[in-house]
Amino acid sequence: MEILLFGITRELVGQNTLTVPPEENLQTVAQLREWLHAHFPAMQKLSSLAIAVDSEYADDAQEIKPNQEIALIPPVSGG
């Protein structure tokens, strides 16, 4: 599963995309969020972190499949 990263999430990971190994067998957004927190603890400190599946915001119960487009949408600050 490949995840697109934007803003602070890109800075925390150090690259534009993140690949989750297939053997992790993540099936829901909640499982993905837990995996991210375990592997990148700094993400737990973000005030909000939206996860989009196929270009639509997803709640934690949303199922995810290996070939879907997943993106992390960090909090946005304006000026």
pLDDT recorded at residue 20: 92
Is 29 a domain residue? Answer: yes
* Tens-binned pLDDT, residue by residue, of the chain (79 aa): 999 999 899 999 999 999 999 899 999 999 999 999 999 999 998 888 999 999 999 999 999 997 899 999 988 755 4
* CATH code assigned at 26: 3.10.20.30
d(CA 43, CA 64): 20
Closest CA to 72 of 50, 54, 48: 50
Is 64 a domain residue? Answer: yes
Counted domains in the chain: 1
What pTM value is reported for the model? Answer: 0.89
Is 5 a domain residue? Answer: no
Per-residue burial over 33-69, b = 16 or more CB atoms within 10 Å of its CB, e = otherwise: beebeeeeeebeeeeebebbbeeeebeeebebeeeee
